[in-house]
């Protein structure tokens, strides 16, 4: 057979395979009846394309607006955007395991609580940390005082940088330092934690500086690890930067050194640290937890808490800068609160500050704190939202889509804290059922109470000393603050430059009685 004939038959054969795949996907597949783009019924690569270019979250939200509450985003993968399906997927009684997507978050060849797949395995691992993160634990004065100390350190740094009365600063970096120092203090104790707020030349700042760059490339790593490795090598060689995309590796090494140092001197370990809790915990067989698992759990806690809190703080301040009237309302609310000896509002009052709460809640609704890729696997064939899904289908709720349901949140693209202040009864219940920035159900973020405490302390501290404004001369705009489809939903510009103006007179607060 001639070369030309071989080529023709090869083309015919490949075309037949493609045609067969298309016919099966559109007319014979068990997913053929599910709404969604036709190309997503045929191949996963359309969604992967958007994922690599950091548009996956935005694109799935667009598909939900076009096709409804249930969307096929790839063969065998379905996205939802309604409260009922969300409860059925993530509810405590449903017991759906996580998907293999979470294999991407293994550390030191161990599964932390976050990336444990099975329900029973997760429940067993959760016992090791759940008591530590309960509100009754993290809201103790001894646990909150380091957070308050870091607020004071941050305010002192900002005061120094605004000696002329005002300055335009990258708030995202400021929030990164604050959240990083908070979580490392909670995990390791005072002797091993970071002090990035006040130490400008510390090694940990270099890790944080490269972290966002790593985040931009992680979607390629998760989908095409070989391509990521090749790309990393090429960029490192061409740019003469051997540390390109090395921040995660540096953090992992740094974390293990901290664990090693603590375990060598267990008597010196801070008893109020998670490291101490895990080092004294036992397996079901009565054995100490492996050092590698302890390190993996601590590393995962750093990733989750640092990114979540930094992002939440950044977007709260961004939204308040665009709506200065809400800054005034928060200051008025805070001014009625007594101060502690450290000059900050008492947390017992911050817990019940409805205006502050509404502004923070609305910010996290408008700008979710993660990609929302909380995939679960359907163990048996059953119906969700009236649509039957085969066993082993991967399902998830689009956080961005459920947070922007127009019938639940009228004018969903607008920042309107008043919607949380005015809603009552059934209206409020429905809004809360469609609000999942910290996840939902059995795997709700364990660190939520600690994160919220840090967010409230920081915002209250900033607003009592500064007016936060938009600087039209900076490069920060609504477009640069649009969120990318990274795991931690970074702003597109990876910066948030805001103008801080020192208040002419410190806000007057009633002094707490001694």
SS3 content of the chain, % helix, strand, coil (to 5): 55, 10, 35
Which residues 6+ apart lie within 8 Å of 100 measured at CB?
117
- Token output for 340: 């502690």
Q: Looking at residue 168, what DSSP letter applies? A: E
Q: Looking at residue 26, what DSSP letter applies? A: I
Phi, psi of 482 (to 5 degrees): -65, 140
Which uninterrupted H or E stretch holds 219? helix 203-223
Answer whether 439's CB lies under 8 Å from 90's CB.
Answer: yes
SS (H, E, C) 298-343: HHHHHHHHHHHHHHHHHHHHHHHHHCHHHHHHHHHHHHCCCECCCC
Instruction: Match 């921040």 to its residue by tokens.
Output: 247
Instruction: Match 């900076």 to its residue by tokens.
Output: 474
Give the Cα separation of 5 and 422 in Å (integer): 74
445 is in an annotated binding site: yes
- Token output for 444: 């709700």
Q: Characterise 359 by phi-psi region: left (phi > 0), alpha (psi -120 to 50), beta (else).
A: alpha
Give the Cα separation of 237 and 255 in Å (integer): 27
How do strand 394-397 and strand 376-377 relate by DSSP bridges?
Answer: antiparallel
SS (H, E, C) 258-308: HHHHHHHCHHHCCCCCHHHHHHHCECCCCCECCHHHHHHHHHHHHHHHHHH
- Token output for 394: 């991967």
Instruction: Match 């335009």 to its residue by tokens.
Output: 168
- Token output for 231: 């790309």
Q: Characterise 444 by phi-psi region: left (phi > 0), alpha (psi -120 to 50), beta (else).
A: beta
Q: Characterise 90 by phi-psi region: left (phi > 0), alpha (psi -120 to 50), beta (else).
A: alpha
Sequence ranges of the binding site: 445
Sequence ranges of the binding site for heme: 445
């Amino acid at each position: 057979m001639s070369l030309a004939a071989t080529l023709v038959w090869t083309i015919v054969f490949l075309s037949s395979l493609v045609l067969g795949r298309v016919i099966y996907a559109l007319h014979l597949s068990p997913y053929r009846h599910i709404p969604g783009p036709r190309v997503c019924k045929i191949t996963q690569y359309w969604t992967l394309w958007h994922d690599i270019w950091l548009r996956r979250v935005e694109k799935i939200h667009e598909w939900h607006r076009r096709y409804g509450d249930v969307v096929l985003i790839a063969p065998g993968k379905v996205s939802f955007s309604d409260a009922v399906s969300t409860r059925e997927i993530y509810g405590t009684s449903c017991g759906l395991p996580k998907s293999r997507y979470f294999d991407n978050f293994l550390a030191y060849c161990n599964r932390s609580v976050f990336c444990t797949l099975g329900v029973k395995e997760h429940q067993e691992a959760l016992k090791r940390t759940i008591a530590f993160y309960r509100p009754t634990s993290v809201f103790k004065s001894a646990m909150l005082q380091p957070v308050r100390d870091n607020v004071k350190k941050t305010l002192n740094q900002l005061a120094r940088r605004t000696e002329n009365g005002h300055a335009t600063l990258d708030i995202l970096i400021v929030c990164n330092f604050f959240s990083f120092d908070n979580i490392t203090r909670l995990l390791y104790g005072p002797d091993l934690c970071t002090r990035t707020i006040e130490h400008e030349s510390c090694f940990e700042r270099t890790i944080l500086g490269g972290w966002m760059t790593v985040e931009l490339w992680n979607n390629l790593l998760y989908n095409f690890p070989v391509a990521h490795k090749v790309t990393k090598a090429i960029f490192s060689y061409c740019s003469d930067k051997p540390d390109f995309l090395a921040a995660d590796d540096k953090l992992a090494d740094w974390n293990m050194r901290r664990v090693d140092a603590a375990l060598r001197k267990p008597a010196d370990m801070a008893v109020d640290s998670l490291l101490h809790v895990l080092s004294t915990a036992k397996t079901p067989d009565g054995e100490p937890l492996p050092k590698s698992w302890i390190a993996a759990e601590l590393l995962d806690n750093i990733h989750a808490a640092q990114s979540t809190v930094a992002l939440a703080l950044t977007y709260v301040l961004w939204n308040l800068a665009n709506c200065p009237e809400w800054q005034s309302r928060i200051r008025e609310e805070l001014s009625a609160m007594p101060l502690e000896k450290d000059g900050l509002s008492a947390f017992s009052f911050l817990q019940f500050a409805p205006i502050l709460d509404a502004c923070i809640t609305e910010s996290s609704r408008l700008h979710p704190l993660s990609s929302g890729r909380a995939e679960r696997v359907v163990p048996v064939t059953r119906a969700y939202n009236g649509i039957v899904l085969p066993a082993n289908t991967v399902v998830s709720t689009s956080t961005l889509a459920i947070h922007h349901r127009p019938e639940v949140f009228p004018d969903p693209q607008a920042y309107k804290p008043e919607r949380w202040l005015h809603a009552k009864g059934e209206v409020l219940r429905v809004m809360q059922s469609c609000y999942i920035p910290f996840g939902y159900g059995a795997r709700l973020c364990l660190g939520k109470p600690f994160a919220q405490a840090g967010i409230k302390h920081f915002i209250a501290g900033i607003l009592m000393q500064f007016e936060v404004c938009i600087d039209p001369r900076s490069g920060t705009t609504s477009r640069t603050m649009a969120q990318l489809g990274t795991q931690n939903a970074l702003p597109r510009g990876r910066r948030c430059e805001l103008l801080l103006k020192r208040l002419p007179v410190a806000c007057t607060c009633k002094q707490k009685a001694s």
